[in-house]
């Protein structure tokens, strides 16, 4: 038999290496029958449709009964249930049967096409993505109408790598018991449900691996996937499998060893302490953040609460979310960032204006200035929740003092309101500013005296400083965290914070890269906030280092002229000092 060894690269969705036989969820194309009805066949056809809906509902109910009573998988699953109950789907189909005298399968397919068109017209990518959820629900109803067994993962053997065109929340709900080694889907993005759930369940996953994959992979062929690099190997040579098995074993051994450090202080051999915190977008990530030894949450992005829906969360809902956050992370604290919609983060709950350059437009605090009522509601909820645990407030995308003054004045106003009502809040709630624009970095000395802490957001700071769109793959090679301009800006901000006697942190992706740990500690940062799975490695490296040697390296870097040169110097030094750590981290050749 000829081998079909091949390699492709998709979007990394959940890190980790999976190796196992392919279990292909090959959804056969349903050939939708079309036939005309006699007038007396119409009502029986409507009844047949209702019965298929009922049968689908009962099947989904069965899956639901096996799920945890709360949690992300359940929430996502409930949403799928709602699609089934959506009147537009059922009554629109009934209407088609009655008015066009066509069979139920044809009418349902046609109604779905209309709904899908509406989804595609929405600018929010999250909402657009949901049309695939509806498609999978519709497919289940069609299968019921045509007397077919639904294809699913309920019988997937242990240890397989699931390969599918796309996976619905109902599919994913069936793999929550750790049976599946990994997931590869043709479609999807980092915000698709399968990606979100895979991350929270820590199942290695690659999405967006390319159309046609599921049809071209035979069941049982070995699949290797690296959820960190997005690489997928189909039926690789034994040498490659052995190499990835070794890599996986090394990573597991390294993680086991690293986890022994998580309860020890994040301190260098010469007594320098750095706080290591977690960036969290979903409540479900908190248990793993604590397991990895996070000393708190350094960035909670509230826009996710606004993105997954078509309405806005009110004060009560936000209050309850922030309170849950404070309670879940106690005795540590959480930094809650006010809404940073705009740029690449959009929602359909608000009609945002079309902008030619959204990254340079109405985003972050600028959006809050344009919609003070939304900002005030969020501030009220946050202040109230601050009475229930240790919360701090962080302002995104500040580019000048007027924006900061606006936000502080609004906060003062909210505090006065709450006092007058006799509502509890923490009067010492700390306020910080994200340093994400070169302007904010240059005036950090003017900002620092008015706030309690600064947090450098390198994801944006780099894009604005280097004029490189953070999401544009054509210029990704220019996105250099060790660019001398960035090093100088970070140093400047850190010195401004030090002079004002306030804390300085970093919460962009740069903070979680082990390559940069010496540079960042030498630049004077007090805390780093990152994807929580990076924390154990950083802590181990920190505990094996001295601040003195890190400073020595930084001085060398200021002598060098270009980002590449600096990168090479840092990489060489770190690999020499931490060979084992970097061996396990480098993606396979």
Q: Which residues bind Mg ion (CB under 5 A)?
A: 436, 457, 460
Cα 435 from chain centre: 21
Shortest gap between Cβ of 115 and ligand PEP (angstroms)?
Answer: 31
Per-residue tokens: 356: 């030619």
112 vs 464 by CB, closer to Mg ion = 464
63 vs 456 by CB, closer to Mg ion = 456
Cis peptide before 322 (omega within 30 of 0): no
Under rule CB under 6 A, which residues in 259-318 are in contact with ligand PEP? 299, 301
Q: Is 442 exposed, middle or buried (0-12, 13-18, 19+ CB in 10 A)?
A: middle
Residue 414 interacting partner from ligand PEP, Mg ion, none (CB closer than 5 to 8 Å by kind) = none
153 vs 434 by CB, closer to Mg ion = 434
Q: What b/e string do you get for 363-372 counting C-beta neighbours within 10 Å, with b at 16 or more? A: bbbbbbeebe
Residue 508 interacting partner from Mg ion, ligand PEP, none (CB closer than 5 to 8 Å by kind) = ligand PEP
Residue 389 interacting partner from ligand PEP, Mg ion, none (CB closer than 5 to 8 Å by kind) = none
Distances (CA, A) of 323 to 96, 277, 303, 425: 48, 19, 16, 12
Shortest gap between Cβ of 345 and ligand PEP (angstroms)?
Answer: 7
Distances (CA, A) of 198 to 71, 80, 188, 220, 512: 13, 17, 12, 22, 20
When asked if residue 527 is in the footprint of ligand PEP (CB under 6 A), the reply is no
When asked if residue 140 is in the footprint of ligand PEP (CB under 6 A), the reply is no
Q: Give catalytic residues, as residue numbers.
A: 193, 507
SS3 of 274-312: CEEEEEECCHHHHHHHHHCCCCCEEEEECHHHHHCCCCC
Closest to 214 (Cα-Cα) out of 426, 22, 19: 22
Residue 458 interacting partner from ligand PEP, Mg ion, none (CB closer than 5 to 8 Å by kind) = ligand PEP
DSSP code of residue 463:
H
Per-residue tokens: 234: 């189909």
When asked if residue 340 is in the footprint of ligand PEP (CB under 6 A), the reply is yes
Q: Is 12 exposed, middle or buried (0-12, 13-18, 19+ CB in 10 A)?
A: buried
Residues in contact with 352: Cβ distance below 8 Å, sequence separation at least 6, in sequence order: 123, 341, 342, 346, 362
Cα 449 from chain centre: 33
Largest Cα separation within the chain, whole Å, is 88
When asked if residue 508 is in the footprint of ligand PEP (CB under 6 A), the reply is yes
DSSP code of residue 354:
P
When asked if residue 507 is in the footprint of ligand PEP (CB under 6 A), the reply is yes
143 vs 436 by CB, closer to ligand PEP = 436
DSSP code of residue 345:
B
**CB atoms inside a 10 Å sphere around CB 215:** 12
User: Of all residues in this chain, which one has the CB nearest to Mg ion in the complex?
Assistant: 460
285 vs 436 by CB, closer to Mg ion = 436
Shortest gap between Cβ of 396 and ligand PEP (angstroms)?
Answer: 7
**CB atoms inside a 10 Å sphere around CB 306:** 22
Per-residue tokens: 307: 């993105």
143 vs 436 by CB, closer to Mg ion = 436
When asked if residue 436 is in the footprint of ligand PEP (CB under 6 A), the reply is yes
User: Is residue 180 within 8 Å of 160, Cβ to Cβ?
Assistant: yes
Through-space distance between the first and last CA atoms of the chain, rounded to whole angstroms = 27
Residue 468 interacting partner from ligand PEP, Mg ion, none (CB closer than 5 to 8 Å by kind) = none
Residue 338 interacting partner from Mg ion, ligand PEP, none (CB closer than 5 to 8 Å by kind) = none
Shortest gap between Cβ of 279 and Mg ion (angstroms)?
Answer: 11
Distances (CA, A) of 61 to 47, 66, 68, 137, 150: 21, 9, 13, 13, 14
Size, binding site for ligand PEP by CB under 6 A:
10
140 vs 337 by CB, closer to Mg ion = 337
Shortest gap between Cβ of 463 and Mg ion (angstroms)?
Answer: 9
Residue 581 interacting partner from Mg ion, ligand PEP, none (CB closer than 5 to 8 Å by kind) = none
Per-residue tokens: 92: 């629109």
When asked if residue 222 is in the footprint of ligand PEP (CB under 6 A), the reply is no
Binding mask 443-482 for ligand PEP (x = CB under 6 A): --------------xxxx----------------------
Per-residue tokens: 250: 């090394």
340 vs 513 by CB, closer to ligand PEP = 340
What's the CA gap between 234 and 94, in Å, rounded?
45
204 vs 457 by CB, closer to ligand PEP = 457
As beta bridge partners, residue 299 has 279
Shortest gap between Cβ of 510 and ligand PEP (angstroms)?
Answer: 8
Shortest gap between Cβ of 459 and Mg ion (angstroms)?
Answer: 5
Residue 301 interacting partner from Mg ion, ligand PEP, none (CB closer than 5 to 8 Å by kind) = ligand PEP
Shortest gap between Cβ of 506 and ligand PEP (angstroms)?
Answer: 8
When asked if residue 166 is in the footprint of ligand PEP (CB under 6 A), the reply is no
Shortest gap between Cβ of 514 and Mg ion (angstroms)?
Answer: 22
User: Which stretches of the chain bind ligand PEP, using CB under 6 A?
Assistant: 299, 301, 340, 436, 457-460, 507-508
């Amino acid at each position: 038999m000829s081998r079909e060894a091949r390699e492709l690269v998709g979007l990394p969705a959940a890190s980790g290496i999976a190796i196992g036989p392919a279990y292909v969820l090959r959804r056969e194309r349903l050939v939708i029958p079309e036939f005309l009805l006699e007038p007396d066949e119409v009502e029986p056809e409507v009844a047949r449709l209702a019965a298929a809906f009922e049968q689908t509902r009962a099947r989904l109910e069965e899956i639901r009964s096996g799920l945890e009573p709360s949690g992300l998988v359940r929430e996502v699953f409930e949403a799928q249930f709602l699609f089934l109950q959506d009147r537009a789907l059922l009554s629109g189909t009934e209407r088609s049967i009655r008015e066009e005298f066509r069979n139920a399968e044809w009418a349902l397919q046609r109604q779905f096409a209309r709904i899908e068109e509406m989804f595609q017209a929405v600018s929010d990518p999250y909402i657009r993505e949901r049309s695939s959820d509806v498609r999978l629900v519709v497919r289940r109803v069609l299968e019921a109408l045509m007397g077919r067994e639904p294809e699913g993962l309920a019988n997937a053997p242990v240890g397989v790598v699931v390969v599918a065109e796309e996976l619905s929340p109902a599919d994913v709900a069936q793999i929550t018991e750790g049976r599946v080694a990994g997931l590869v889907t043709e479609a999807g993005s980092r915000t698709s449900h399968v990606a979100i759930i895979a991350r929270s369940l820590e199942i290695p996953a690659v999405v967006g691996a390319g159309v046609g994959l599921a049809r071209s992979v035979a069941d049982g062929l070995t699949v290797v996937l690296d959820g960190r690099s997005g690489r997928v190997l189909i039926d690789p040579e034994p040498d490659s499998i052995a190499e990835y098995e070794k890599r996986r074993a090394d990573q597991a051994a390294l993680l086991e060893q690293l986890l022994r450090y998580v309860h020890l202080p994040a301190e260098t051999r010469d007594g320098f302490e750095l706080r290591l915190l977690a960036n969290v977008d979903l409540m479900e990530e908190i248990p793993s953040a604590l397991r990895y030894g996070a000393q708190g949450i350094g960035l909670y992005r509230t826009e996710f609460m606004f993105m997954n829906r078509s309405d806005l969360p009110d004060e009560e809902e936000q209050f309850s979310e922030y309170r849950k956050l404070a309670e879940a992370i106690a005795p540590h604290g959480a930094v809650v960032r006010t809404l940073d919609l705009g740029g690449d983060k959009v929602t359909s709950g608000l009609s945002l204006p079309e902008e030619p350059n959204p990254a340079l437009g109405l985003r972050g605090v600028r959006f809050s200035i344009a919609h003070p009522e939304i900002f005030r509601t969020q501030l009220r909820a946050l202040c109230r929740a601050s009475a229930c645990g240790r919360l701090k407030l962080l302002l995104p995308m500040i580019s000048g003092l007027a924006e900061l003054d606006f936000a502080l004045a609004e906060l003062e106003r909210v505090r006065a309101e709450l006092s007058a009502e006799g509502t509890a809040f923490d009067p010492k709630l700390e306020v910080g500013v994200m340093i994400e624009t070169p302007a904010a970095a240059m005036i950090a000395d003017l900002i620092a005296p008015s706030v309690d802490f600064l947090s450098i957001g390198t994801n944006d700071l780099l894009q604005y400083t280097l004029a490189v769109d953070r999401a544009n793959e054509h210029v990704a090679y220019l996105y250099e965290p060790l660019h001398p301009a960035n090093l100088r800006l970070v140093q400047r901000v850190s010195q401004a914070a030090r002079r004002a006697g306030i804390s300085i942190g970093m919460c962009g992706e740069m903070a979680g890269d082990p390559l940069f740990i010496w540079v960042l500690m030498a630049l004077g940062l007090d805390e780093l906030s990152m994807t929580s799975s990076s924390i154990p490695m950083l802590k181990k490296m920190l505990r094996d280092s001295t601040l003195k040697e890190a400073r020595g390296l930084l001085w060398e870097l200021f002598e060098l002229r270009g980002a590449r040169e600096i990168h090479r110097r840092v990489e060489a030094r770190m690999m020499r000092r931490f060979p084992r750590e970097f061996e396990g981290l480098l993606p396979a050749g």
